[in-house]
Structure 1
């Protein structure tokens, strides 16, 4: 399942995972690892080591335009997403497990 992860994603997954994690937490960890890989890719673009994200589009009068995606803005959004995912993982681990019954069985 995690074989599509890059080096950063694998390291992040290994650092976050625990053998007692629920499936819900495991899915969040995998997504956090993917975000980690995206941040690494965005950083390589920002530092000039990676390929620039650009696309050709048709302009208003039929001219071709080159549109460059806002990589810095995307990196900030991905960093925020990663913080939220890690916070959610920690919160879910700290929450006590819900009891199996509804509390009415003793009535």
Structure 2
């Protein structure tokens, strides 16, 4: 399976480490990768380090019109959007960890007991470490 176009550095790392070839699971992994990239871009904005590079615009200028063309893009509530993206990312990470290498939920609603203090992110890190050996 080819790497998706448009992923940033962190998104590509997540995709490469967690893709399995299972369509449903890889869809979750891809969305987690995209969300991680969005979080990086939002963090850059919050820190005043740049603009949101994930957005692209195309402007068609009318022929023969000498009037200046002004485009204004405003980003309001960036912190709120970052929190929403963090929640979405955490949900995706939890789903990926819950289903492990399978695209389907465990049979009978059974899940393996998780030791106290182990988070879903810890389980994904362990899975990545296991795959990268």
Deviation by residue 1:79-107 (Cα, 9 ceiling, x = unmatched): 11000001001112274468xxxxxxxxx
Unpaired stretches in structure 1, ≥5 consecutive residues: 53-65, 99-107
- CA distance in structure 2 between the aligned counterparts of 1:67 and 1:74, rounded to whole angstroms: 13
- CA distance in structure 1 between the aligned counterparts of 2:14 and 2:78, rounded to whole angstroms: 22
Supply the RMSD in Å over aligned alpha carbons: 2.5
- CA distance in structure 1 between the aligned counterparts of 2:12 and 2:107, rounded to whole angstroms: 28
Residue 89 (structure 2) pairs with residue 82 (structure 1): yes
With structure 2 as the length reference, what TM-score do the two structures score?
Answer: 0.55
Q: How many residues align?
A: 84
Alignment of 1:90-105 (within 5 A): 90-93=97-100, 95-96=105-106
1:24 shift after superposition: 0.5
Corresponding residue number in structure 2 for 1:3: 5
Structure 1 residues 85, 69: CA separation in 2 closer, same or farther (over 3 Å shift)? same
Unpaired stretches in structure 2, ≥5 consecutive residues: 53-72, 109-133
- CA distance in structure 1 between the aligned counterparts of 2:82 and 2:30, rounded to whole angstroms: 18
**Which protein is richer in strand relative to its size?**
1
* Rg (Cα) greater in structure: 1
With structure 1 as the length reference, what TM-score do the two structures score?
Answer: 0.66
Corresponding residue number in structure 2 for 1:57: none
